[in-house]
Structure 1
């Protein structure tokens, strides 16, 4: 992925930013690259500004251009940037005259811990954040100022990826019950959007040199044989199962009833487990070691419910594995969120997430494990950190609990966790291939246009640093 690069002496463009080619919906208009002055500015709005990713040396932001008469419109892409402590005018760090409707720019080469002023523009019109979540006090979309992170101390060790809610085979996004509310479908003639998003993410991980990926549930739409086979095919193209990628089961991947599943292995008297044949049997925990980092994945699925549970055998196995080396740095995964904050803040309530007794038992096991530093979940499709309900008995920092954003549709995220000797950095990245951006722009208007308010989360939830002792990792 190319990016615009900042140097301390000057701004320069190194290649082009990742931009969507063409419009994301039929009937998209265009503002010509040569059009200037009041004509373009008076007929265009640049909205949906989102500062998605902030690392120690880079920022990534997106926005969309619309005609005032309605509908998306293509225009050029421009970003101005400068140190916030300087009185000098902002300098242009990126400009691309290619007409696009959804704009995505990455700027690299920034200084850690430094604040920068920025202005995103198309056809001379400044992009703004027009949602509540991007107008919270201190949000960069509101202030026009963003501060890069300060990485943990010590040597950088490795970066791993976590992705959830991939939904291979899904044909309509944004549905809650039946066909309500109105959802979004892929444009005719384009590849299935779930394939677009997973393929785009895997390509980005490859270019970034990330060789370990943990898929945290809902790899498929409904675990049909073709969906399971396609998910496995795409992941096998990334690398080897158990060496380069691992997967937990989500509720969409559960055993199903019906003739279309009958070619798969029977599960009980009425169900067939297509997902288990190619991935992992139901209610089976796995653990792996990545350079000294212990990663544990648990199956949190019911057979016939969207909510979550963990059976006693998995808890016994978890206790055994954690007791082998309680101090080993440990990342744990369940598809279902496990905090009471998640129970009461998701819009469908406690039955949608992990059973409370199981959640408290899991938190208790992690609280007794000094090496446990992060538990990640998906399922809600949003990005949100929740407080630990069960905390360690001593002064140790509790495990961080993070619900990570969805891959398959808006906001189109995956998580990179960068490990240092002195801690870790979490960054959610937007899948930024041209077709991915086109689909993200199309699917952002589901839930009657309210989906960003529920799913995007705060900048601090998407990007943050925590200090831990990882000096024994390699």
Structure 2
């Protein structure tokens, strides 16, 4: 959920937005497939929710969903229908002469990868299942485009258009995984203040807990990119229960060694809590008992840190280093702020990546932006000023909003402020950061395990089905970008 926790005032603003858009049938049912009182049954297999997820210089990932027309699974979508899946594409919209097929056989949850694309080339494509063309995810609350880098084909079934970027300049040094919002222990997604109009989405009976499904798939999926490090920017758990924190660590350890290969920071859900479930953990600095501190920063370790990783300076922030109930703005303690400023000064010219749970700023939302959506505004302004004086900082990775979004602040224009969508729900994935000697590329991927694709599509129905307009990223550039930057100080692996 955006900002994860809400006040009642925030909730009323959300409700007003949803009500204002409730008349749009194209959002919940882009193909016009659902009857007003549809029930489970068989109907014409219909492909919908087409999305261009990943776009790199040599590849693209395209996903969609197939269901039985005229049915309703109880969540406002068609009942899943297994079908074939293919993408036809080419450099001429009238000659789509190349074909790529689904990574699995017949399925409702289609995932097609296009390989061997040429950098800087314009391509056109259409996706189909069961002989029918797929309709794209529609944007009705905010201007957006889920299927291309131009508006060609929007409102139709294509062909759609995209242009591949040029690769990062220089030679590849190493890659990293950026992820966040694992929410281990969560059992319902999409709850907003317990309001009945926002139905919590639960896992299908008999399947493993969805946070475990999504994290297991993530850790497995990233291996094909041969990343050197993994950074998980907060909300490791749903409510900082020791067993959930431990389970997250077990799954992350399949990637590598903690504090050598993977690193975590605290989110507001990982804050210290009160109650019997937390009684064996250390007394929190601000409140309750701090099980996150015990699990990931034992003994006298601080909950924020910096490391030099293969020549890259990485700073991990604790953006809930403060008292609170989790629903307010994030914040750094005075001690952490002093440490952070000093660390930036010491590494002024070294290539530096900062990651932490709350974004510094939040812009361009389909839904109301509240104080709890980001870091304390005064602190965020201070940090951006520091970035403007620190040439080495090039990327600030955050979670918390559960969306893909790229922001460039005029205060620190050399720094990309990148929000990455939650690992635990739609669109359900991670970003791969590819570092080159003279630039970097950042690409978002949906987790592609069979159960992960199933849960991702199920959880897209959050917030009455409007969730994709917030979480996916309203442009391709919000989830895929290439930046020129001098990174010659990094060390190859």
Q: Quickly name the TM-score band, shorter chain normalised.
A: 0.7 to 0.9
Which residue does the alignment assign to 1:400?
Answer: 416
Residues in 2 aligned to 1:134 and 1:263: alpha-carbon distance in whole angstroms = 49
Find 1:285's aligned residue among 287, 294, 304: 304
TM-score, scaled to structure 2: 0.82
Distance change >3 Å, CA 96–CA 378, structure 1 → 2: closer
Within 5 A, what are the aligned runs for 1:419-438?
419-438=435-454
Residues in 1 aligned to 2:152 and 2:467: alpha-carbon distance in whole angstroms = 20
Which residue does the alignment assign to 1:258?
Answer: 275
Find 2:120's aligned residue among 96, 113, 127: 113
**Superposed displacement of residue 74, structure 1:** 1.6
Residues in 2 aligned to 1:137 and 1:111: alpha-carbon distance in whole angstroms = 16
**Superposed displacement of residue 389, structure 1:** 5.0
User: Would you say 1:310 and 2:310 are equivalent positions?
Assistant: no
Contact residue 266 and residue 273 of structure 1 kept, 8 A: yes
Distance change >3 Å, CA 404–CA 227, structure 1 → 2: same
Residues in 1 aligned to 2:366 and 2:410: alpha-carbon distance in whole angstroms = 15
User: Would you say 1:321 and 2:343 are equivalent positions?
Assistant: yes
Which residue does the alignment assign to 1:200?
Answer: 217
1:375-422 deviation line (CA, Å, top 9, x unaligned): 11110101112231523xxxxx42111111111000102111101111
Residues in 2 aligned to 1:292 and 1:357: alpha-carbon distance in whole angstroms = 31
**Superposed displacement of residue 28, structure 1:** 7.3
Contact residue 330 and residue 372 of structure 1 kept, 8 A: yes
User: Would you say 1:247 and 2:261 are equivalent positions?
Assistant: no
**Superposed displacement of residue 329, structure 1:** 0.7
Aligned length in residues: 430
Residues in 1 aligned to 2:214 and 2:137: alpha-carbon distance in whole angstroms = 25
Distance change >3 Å, CA 340–CA 197, structure 1 → 2: closer
User: Would you say 1:73 and 2:84 are equivalent positions?
Assistant: no
Question: Any idea what SS the aligned residue of 2:383 has?
Answer: helix
Distance change >3 Å, CA 89–CA 228, structure 1 → 2: closer
Gaps of 5+ in 2: 1-38, 72-77
Stretch of structure 1 that moved more, 308-317 or 167-176: 308-317
Within 5 A, what are the aligned runs for 1:229-248?
229-248=246-265
**Superposed displacement of residue 82, structure 1:** 1.4
1:230-288 deviation line (CA, Å, top 9, x unaligned): 11111122211111100010000000011111121122585111111111379732111
Residues in 2 aligned to 1:152 and 1:468: alpha-carbon distance in whole angstroms = 9
Residues in 2 aligned to 1:384 and 1:97: alpha-carbon distance in whole angstroms = 29
Residues in 2 aligned to 1:134 and 1:93: alpha-carbon distance in whole angstroms = 22
**Superposed displacement of residue 96, structure 1:** 7.7
Distance change >3 Å, CA 376–CA 269, structure 1 → 2: closer
Residues in 1 aligned to 2:192 and 2:151: alpha-carbon distance in whole angstroms = 30
Residues in 1 aligned to 2:165 and 2:113: alpha-carbon distance in whole angstroms = 15
Question: Any idea what SS the aligned residue of 2:63 has?
Answer: strand
Find 1:333's aligned residue among 331, 341, 355: 355
Stretch of structure 1 that moved more, 143-152 or 209-218: 143-152
Distance change >3 Å, CA 412–CA 269, structure 1 → 2: closer
1:321-362 deviation line (CA, Å, top 9, x unaligned): 2222311111111211112637x8763512332111111111
Residues in 1 aligned to 2:423 and 2:345: alpha-carbon distance in whole angstroms = 34
Which residue does the alignment assign to 1:6?
Answer: none
Contact residue 440 and residue 482 of structure 2 kept, 8 A: yes
TM-score, scaled to structure 1: 0.86
Find 1:358's aligned residue among 379, 388, 398: 379
Which residue does the alignment assign to 1:295?
Answer: 314
**Superposed displacement of residue 106, structure 1:** 1.0
Find 1:134's aligned residue among 136, 141, 145: 145
Residues in 2 aligned to 1:121 and 1:212: alpha-carbon distance in whole angstroms = 37
Stretch of structure 1 that moved more, 198-207 or 166-175: 198-207
**Superposed displacement of residue 174, structure 1:** 0.6
Residues in 1 aligned to 2:68 and 2:373: alpha-carbon distance in whole angstroms = 39
**Superposed displacement of residue 89, structure 1:** 4.2
Question: Any idea what SS the aligned residue of 1:110 has?
Answer: coil
1:88-109 deviation line (CA, Å, top 9, x unaligned): 4423232689321111111222
Distance change >3 Å, CA 141–CA 428, structure 1 → 2: farther
Contact residue 363 and residue 389 of structure 1 kept, 8 A: no
Residues in 2 aligned to 1:425 and 1:403: alpha-carbon distance in whole angstroms = 15
Residues in 2 aligned to 1:219 and 1:446: alpha-carbon distance in whole angstroms = 21
Q: Greater strand percent: which structure?
A: 1
> Pairwise CA RMSD of aligned residues?
2.3
